[in-house]
Amino acid sequence: MDPRADVVRFVDVQAQIRTLQPAIGDAIQEVIERGDFILGQAVTAFEGEWARYCGVKHAVGVDSGLSAIELALRAARIGEGDEVITQANTFIATVGAVMAVGARPVLVDCDEHGEVDVAAVERAITKRTRAILPVHLYGLIGDIDGVLELAGQAGLRVIEDACQAHGAVYRGRRAGSFGWAAAFSFYPAKNLGAFGDAGMLVTEDDDLAETVRMLRNYGSKVKYQHVAAPLNHRLDTIQAAVLRVKLPHLDSWNDRRQYLADAYREHLSGGPVGLPESTQEGRHVYHLFVVQAPERDAMRAALTAQGIETGVHYPIPLHAQPVLRSLGYPVGTFPNAERIAAHSLSLPMYPELPLSHLGRVAQAITGRGTRRQAA
Ligand SMILES: *Cc1c(COP(=O)(O)O)cnc(C)c1O
């Protein structure tokens, strides 16, 4: 017997791959037969499909989510001496992109739910600010209207970090369709995941799309003529071929995540953990289902002991990361981000998560029997 059969997995990318065979294998085989491994047919096709999915004009395939943010910043000519504002409770890649272009990441606290705090962003604007980088963390689009209004008044670019929000909807529009640019990651465990690293920049702006196509490919539009920084950030054709097979399933996978989130809410209400805010239809695609636990580390250890995998996103807020200490934000600067880092616990969440597993997680947290067992 599989020794892990009893384990409640945090995420199981294999489960999804199994359901899509042999289509994925066939798609990879086609690329092998065509031999167009670099910027091949599947890249162009997937770019078109992803742009249509997001409801934007252009999508440019790149090698990671970080690269998508970095190339947007480069295209905006943001660099040394410039400031870019983002929130202290995000993955390191968000600020990594800002650092990669030599600009200064300016951090602000999130609101009490971990979403963008527009007032905090406004207070952080200086003469040097060039862009705002809101993060749709965990799959939830925060107050993007507020961000857009502020950016419009202050003359700033908005670059959405949509790396956790594939398909999230706000006012009938999809993540990625709000900012001047938006970045997606197709890291394997994301809501839409490749078989390795992959990413995408989306935009309505013709010039931006053209510039990023040039920047991702050694700064060249014409072969062997290099007019910008010679970098390689291309999306692999094989990754694009895999993503093309998966994309038609993304909406139903996100529906399933929302269904599972509702099931968690039902089982966990009145229990010892704080639940994520319930949002209007579609706004949250639950890349992660994150609860707030008073004694997070003890609860996590107890779950582990019962064969339940969990995650923490993220245990150290950015300003406390060793690599960012030089930014000069002492501990205590961002109370919401610090509280969230100390108490967040990410529960198992992936579309194929069996309901029986979800029930086990809920029971382990609340100490109650689930309804199913009571019946
Ligand atoms: C995954 C992720 C990224 C970037 O991911 P890559 O590993 O560079 O593809 C950026 N921001 C957030 C919030 C992410 O979750």
Distance between Cα 91 and ligand 1 center (Å):
7
Q: Percentage of residues in the chain with pLDDT exceeding 90?
A: 94
Write down the pLDDT at residue 373.
47
Backbone angles phi, psi at 218, to 5 degrees: 60, 30
Write down the pLDDT at residue 58.
98
Three-state DSSP class for 123? helix
> Probe ligand 1: pick from 89, 161, 313, max atoms within 8 Å of CB?
161
Report DSSP state, residue 3: T
Residue 277's pLDDT band (cuts 50, 70, 90): confident
Select from 159, 179, 178, 142 the least CA-distant residue to 101: 159
Write down the pLDDT at residue 375.
36
Question: Looking at 1-10, 132-141, 178-187, 232-241, which range is the least confident one?
Answer: 1-10
pTM here is 0.96
List ligand 1's pocket residues with C-beta within 6 A.
64-66, 90-91, 93-94, 135, 161, 163-164, 185, 187, 197, 199
Distance between Cα 270 and ligand 1 center (Å):
33
Residue 183's pLDDT band (cuts 50, 70, 90): very high
Distance between Cα 96 and ligand 1 center (Å):
10
pLDDT in tens, 281-328: 778 999 999 999 999 999 999 999 999 999 999 999 999 999 999 999
Pairing of strands 83-87, 129-132: parallel
pLDDT in tens, 17-30: 999 999 999 999 99
The better pLDDT of the pair 280, 26 is held by 26
* Straight-line distance from the first to the last Cα atom of the chain, in angstroms, rounded to the nearest whole number: 30
Select from 235, 227, 232 the least CA-distant residue to 211: 227
Select from 322, 321, 349, 318 the least CA-distant residue to 336: 318
Residue 3's pLDDT band (cuts 50, 70, 90): low
Q: Is the pLDDT of residue 178 over 80?
A: yes
Going by alpha carbons, the residue nearest to atom 13 of ligand 1 is: 91
337: tokens are: 């981000």
Three-state DSSP class for 201? strand
